[in-house]
Structure formats: structure tokens, C-alpha cells
Chain A
Amino acid sequence: MAVTYESTREMVDNQSRRWLKFLRDNASIILIYTIILLVIGIAALSNENFRSPSNLVNILRQSIILGLIAIGQSVIALTGGLDMSVAQVARIVGLTVATIFAAEGSNPDLIIPLIILGLLIGMAIGLFNGILITRTHANPFIITLGIASILRGVNLAISSTPIRGIPKAYLLIYDYKIGIVPANVLVMALIWVIAYIFTTRTRTGRAFFAVGGSERVARLSAISYNRTLVVAHTFCSVCAALTGLFLLARTGVGDPSAAEGMDFQSIVAVALGGISLYGGRGSMIGTLGGVLLLATLSNVFNLLQVNIYYQQLFLGLIVLITVAAYKSPRAA
């Protein structure tokens, strides 16, 4: 529906229309946060365990893994692509770091260098993804799927059994608390704020929207398409590497099946949050909503002891419903 502006309209009318416009422009975000509140409300009323403070904090902590990956995936989705390699990037980082820890006798002095190494691995893969996509002009989905397959092979070669020998100090990344709140939840909140500012208030952030909205217009508007895509993919893979490092602290072992299914889940979170999978529309606030909703639902399912198979089924249904609900009226 187009908003019409006529000089003769009354101010009062303007006021109410501004509200309508706000609702219309932010419909998807309002919708998802309403659903989250509903789910939390129903779960809190019907289940005692759910409303305990420690469980609520737990939901936040559980949402970090998906949250980190989804931030990266959001950026790719804004540019009009999808990154299918995020789970394998997280895994290769975790396995590499674990392998070195194991070989070096759980030396805690290696924690900082290995975190840096992990991030560098992520950066390198992201750079490679970006360069490959801009050189071949292929669909990012296909390129990253190919990279994912290669990484999966490498991961299997590194280890097919859990790797032990992570130093105790490393586990603090997951366990350290300030009062009742885990430190990592606070760090995560900070990362969200940074990601929000990055996408909305920086030149590069605008470039993501421009490239996703129309590659041709962006090119003609002094935006470097290649640079933008390479930056986006590097950013996304670094987010995935962070996830891998975080997962390692949670499980305490190098897990050869770490981050399984996170490719799909991150896309679900992004789509739920209202980022158009055709690029150029959406926001980090929406993605955060998607992540929180999925984390809450998963928590509720576990409390109600719903079978994992049904959880999968439910996730699939959510995707189909979201895609139908967000079907752009502009497409018609």
C-alpha cells in the first residue's frame, strides 16, 4: 500500500498515519517479539521450571551459539546470499584448536594465541569464499556449499572422535559468571550492539543493503561490489569461527559433530527475523528476535521432553510458515 501525501491533510491525520507507517515498516519485528512474549508467557504460566531465573539465564546462554552464527548469516543475507559453510567453519576451528591443545599437553599459555589462530582461520576461509564468489560470479549459496563439503572432508580427516585435553582455564569462557549472569551473555549483548551499529550506521553497512537491493545500482553508485562481498563473507566466517571457539568451551572437548545443523538454523533465524532472503531488507534486531524465539522454543521443548524428531519437524514448519507470512507484497 502506497502512502499518499497531500498538502491538505490535517495534522491529526498525519499523527495517526505516522503510527500506521511505523507499524507497517516494522511489522515483522513487532510480530516476532510478540510471538516471543506469547511463548514465554504461556511457558511461564504452565511450567514451573521454565520461569526459574537460572533457566531464563540459561536460555540466553544457549542462544549465544546460534546468535553468533546468525549475526554473520544476517550480513550475508542482506547482500542477497546465503552462507552454507558456517557450521563447518565453526567445526574446523574447534577441532584445530583442540588438536593443538591436546598435542601441547593442555598448556594454558596457548589460550590467547590459539583463539587468535581460530579467528585467523575463519578470516582466511571468509576471504576465500568472498574472492571465489566475486571472481566466478556464481551464486554464494553454491560456492559456500562447495567449500562446506571440502571443510567437512578436512574435519573428518582431523578427527572422527572427540579430542580431549582442553585446559581448564579455557572452559571459563563458558562458565565465568558475574553474579547470576554469565559473562559471555554480556559479551554477546555487546556484540549485538556492535553488529547493529555496523549494519545501520557505517559505510560498509549501507553497502551491504545496496548490493543486496540491486547489484547494478550499487556498482553505478560508487559502491565496490567485490569489496563489499568480500568484507561480508570475511565477517560472516569470523562470526562462525567465534562460534567454534565458544562451542569448544561449552563441550570441553573437540567435537567432530560440533555445530551440526547450524547452517539451516541460522537461515531460519534470519528469515524469522524478517531479513529478506532476496537481499537488501531487514535488520539485526529482527535476527536477534529470530534467535531468541528459536532458543526459547528449544528450551520449552526440552523441558516438556518433546522428541527431537518432532523438534525437527516443527523447525521445518516454522520456516514454511515464515516464508509464506513474509511473502513480499511487492512481489505481486
Chain B
Amino acid sequence: MATVSNNASSDAIILSLKHIEKSFGGIHALSDVSFDLRAGEIHALVGENGAGKSTLIKIVTGAYTPDAGDIQINGSVYKSLDPSQARSLGIAAVYQEFNLLPELSVAENISLGAQPLGRFRLIDKRARAALAYELLERLGAHTHIDPNELVKHLTVGEQQLVEIAKALAIDARILIMDEPSAILPSRDLDRLFTVIRNLRDEGRGVIYISHRLNEIFELADRVTVLKDGQTMATKNVADTNHAELVSLMVGRPLTDMYPPRDNTPGEILLEVRDLCVEGTVYNVSFTVRAGEVVGLAGLGGSGRTTVCRALVALADVRSGEIIYQGKPAPRSPAAAAQAGLVLVPEDRKTFGLVLNQSMRFNLSLPNLAQFSRIGVLQNASEKGAIQKIIQNLQIKPPAPDISTENLSGGNQQKVVVGKWLMANPKLVIFDEPTRGIDVGAKAEIYMRIRELTRQGVGVIMASSELPELIGMCDRILVFYEGRLSGEISREKFSEEAIMRLATAVKVDEE
């Protein structure tokens, strides 16, 4: 259970953020965030995807410059930090993706910023190894991590400890841990928690980000909830409970931007049986009917996106079956697309668009067969179809030759959706269909999804935006750590119900 340390010295505030604002191209990532961290505390930061956690972290580490607000560290006030300044102020972050050089040894990695020098200003290898050993010893890791071992030979858990040792090497007073447990096998968790508690007891401040509420109750002293770029509350962990945190994270009104459902699902289109993907998805089974919208919910890393990718043969399926239209699903993305099974991917800039090409090029890409005769493109038929889709989706500006990198996020997303609408799909998988786009474009996309289902197209909608799942879906499947943790039918939809399954809170715990 959590223990709030009460000695006077540890109550000193070492980091204080006041009314921080940050927006990206008109979208507010943080609109008013205040947060403080005491010496000798573990302060958890929670919130849904897109609530602003990573933006906040990047402001503290100096990667982003806030638009407004103050950053107070050890009593001095800053308008913004740069990364090297942040480091010299004793701020270090351990991300999910490590900043380690795999081909170098543990000791070399730990001392990378400041190599101990000896005679003739050559690197003193012995001092370097000794330093690494000492730091690992403080983490209790000296017995199983050899400073001279290459980092690539370490397990993920060991690499994480090396990252923490790097933070100790610069004597970090403020340590940020971004979902450290998400990448760890559960047997390494206890060791990590012990390390974090020791760091706290040495008087350091730890900001701990996690989606797993259970961990927060086990580890943290205080917790701050972010939602839509605002601080909802900061609580002593001892004074709160799961249910309160969940409602603080989600509670927001439904809007009427979702067109009503007006058809009944038909035949089974897709059947997934015991799908397993190495290390990310375990024994997932579900079906999708024609004309049905099936939602996939779950926090980041829950396996939701991997399932989407596996359906179009983009992930290495280890075992299990995917039956599409009564036959085993195609084995390549190209074959899947030809069979009408398409993925509108999560990250439009990386997976959806050839950015330096025109809208026309991108819209045509999966539909070239439609527009060509013996391999030669027929200008007229291509132009006609493209004008139609641009009008239909209200893509702005309606200029087929404009390069897609000059479009706004919403219009880029419309192009990605449009290129698949033109392909007359049978089953469309939308992964985060409305991430980072404005309300108007969202409504436009919801309308197209309804239109698809009216035509008998099956739709899978993976999203971290709960209101849109609730507004659009017939059923919602919730993922937790690579497994289906439950299915919710339309009459039982609520954000609390989804979050409970997504954070694996058992009802009887409350």
C-alpha cells in the first residue's frame, strides 16, 4: 500500500508547472495544466490517450516550448527549457523506447554524456566501469548486470535499469518514467518498483506515467489526472479509488455528431479464432457481420492496433485463424485489399499517404486497376472518379493536383478514407479514424461510416476516443494487455464500463 512520507525535507516542491498551455496547429494539446512534484515522492500521471501526458513530459524535458505558463524548478522560474538545460537542472526521462546504443557496453552507455578521462585525456576505462558498477549497485542490479556486457545482450528489464542508471549518472533529481511497466514482463515489475521506491527514499521526485491503475495504488504517493489537456485533479492516492480516477479520466458529454444507426447486421463476414501475435496479442476471437460496426477499445499497447494490422496480413500471426468471407484471409496487404478487406491505418502520414504526391495520385493508388485498360491508365475515368469522391467527402481545397502534404490533417484523413471508399470495400478497418482532426471532418467521416454500413459493408473501428466508439458501434470489444477482456453490447455502453475493462478493474475491488 502507498505510504506518504511526512518528514519535512521531502515536502519541498522541486518542480512546479503553472497554467501551461501548448497547441499544435490550432489543436490544443494542453490548455491549462498545473502540476507539482515534491522531493521524495512518486507522483503518478494518468489520463486517456491524447489527454496531454506526453506533451507535458516533453515540456519538462525541454523538447517542446510551452505557449504560456511558468515552469518552476528549485525555486527559479523558467518560461521554457531546452534539453541540455533540463538535463543540467537534474531532469531525466526514461521512455518506452530506450536511448541506448545496443552495440556499446553498459558502462559506455552510462557514461556516454561525460566519459571519465585519465592520463593524456584518454578515456579511463577502469573508472568508467567502476562508476557503472557503483550506480548499478545502488539500483541493486550489480549482481546480474555486468558493466562490460553489450547492451544488446540485456533483457528489456535490464536495459531499463541501465537507463535509470544513466539518469543517476547525471544525479537526476527529477526522474520521469513513461509507462515503464508496459514493456516489462510481470516478473521484472517488483524489481522495478523496488528501484523506484529507493529513488524516492533518496529524496528524488519521480513522475510515474501508467495506464494501469493497480500499479498507481501500489506505488504512487499522489496522482494527477489529465483530460483533454487540462488538470482534472491531484489527489493523495490514499484518499481516492479506482472508480473516482476512471470517472475523472473519462467524464465528458456525448455530442450528437453521430448519425443514427438505421440498418440491421447481416451475414458473418469475418471470423477471428484464437488469434495470437508474438508478444502482443493472445487468443483473440471475434466475428464481424456485414453492415455492423464493431468497436475495438483498449489503452495504448493493449494489442488493439496489432489486431487491426494482423487482419490485413501486416503482423506476424503466430497461431489462430482469420476467416474472411468463408475462406482463410489473404496473406498480403495487397491481396487483402483486392479482396475488399482494407485498413485505414492509424498514422496517416506514415501509412496512409505518399505525402509528396498529389491528392489525385493518392486517391488513385489502390484503384489503379479500375482506371486502367491493359495496364494503361485512362485519364478520363480516373479524373471523373476523383472529382466525384472529392465532392462527396467535401475535401478542401477541391484541387486534385495539390500535394497532400499541404492539406490540413482533417482533409488528409479524408483523402485516406476516400481512397478506400473508391475501392468498393467489403470490410473496412478504421484504426483511430479521427485522431487529431477537427470536429467538422470527424462528423464527415462518421457519416461515411454509416453510409458504408447501409451498403452492407462491415466496419471495425479501433479507437481510443470512447465517445466515438459509443456513438458509432454496435458492439465494443475491449482489450487489455493483448487479450480480449470483455465485450459490451450497445445497451450497456458507458465510458466507465469500457475503462473498467480496459484497465482490468474488477467490479468487486471497488
Contacts and interface: CB of A to CB of B under 8 A. Distances in A.
Contacts of A160: none
Chain A, interface residues (CB within 8 Å), range: 20 to 34
A223 interface: yes
Given A217-B352, A222-B334, A280 B397 contact: no
B12 interface: no
A230 to B, nearest CB: 14
Contact of A210 (B350, B351, B354, B406): B354
Chain B, interface residues (CB within 8 Å), range: 35 or more
B366 A221 contact: yes
Interface in B323-370: 332-334, 337-338, 343, 345, 350-357, 361, 364-366, 368-369
B405 interface: yes
A5 interface: yes
| Residue from B314, B350, B364, B376 whose CB has the most chain A CB atoms within 10 Å | B376
B312 interface: yes
Contacts of B354: 209-210, 213-214, 217-218, 280
Contacts of B350: 214, 216-217
B372 interface: yes
Interface string A192-205: 00000100011110
Nearest to A276: B356
B399 A5 contact: yes
Given A213-B357, A214-B354, A281-B356, A3 B402 contact: yes
Contact of B376 (A201, A213, A221): A201
Contact of A221 (B355, B377, B405, B419): B419
B365 A224 contact: no
Contact of A204 (B337, B364, B375, B423): B375
Nearest to B376: A202
Contact of A202 (B366, B372, B406): B372
A45 interface: no
Nearest to A204: B375
B361 A206 contact: yes
Interface string A21-54: 0000000000000000000000000000000000
A203 B406 contact: no
B314 A217 contact: no
A220 B362 CA distance: 12
A232 B355 CA distance: 22
Contacts of A197: 376
B463 to A, nearest CB: 19
B365 A5 contact: no
B364 A206 contact: yes
Interface of B: 312, 314, 332-334, 337-338, 343, 345, 350-357, 361, 364-366, 368-369, 372, 375-377, 379, 396-397, 399, 402, 405-406, 419, 423
Interface of A: 2-3, 5, 197, 201-204, 206-207, 209-210, 213-214, 216-224, 280-281, 330
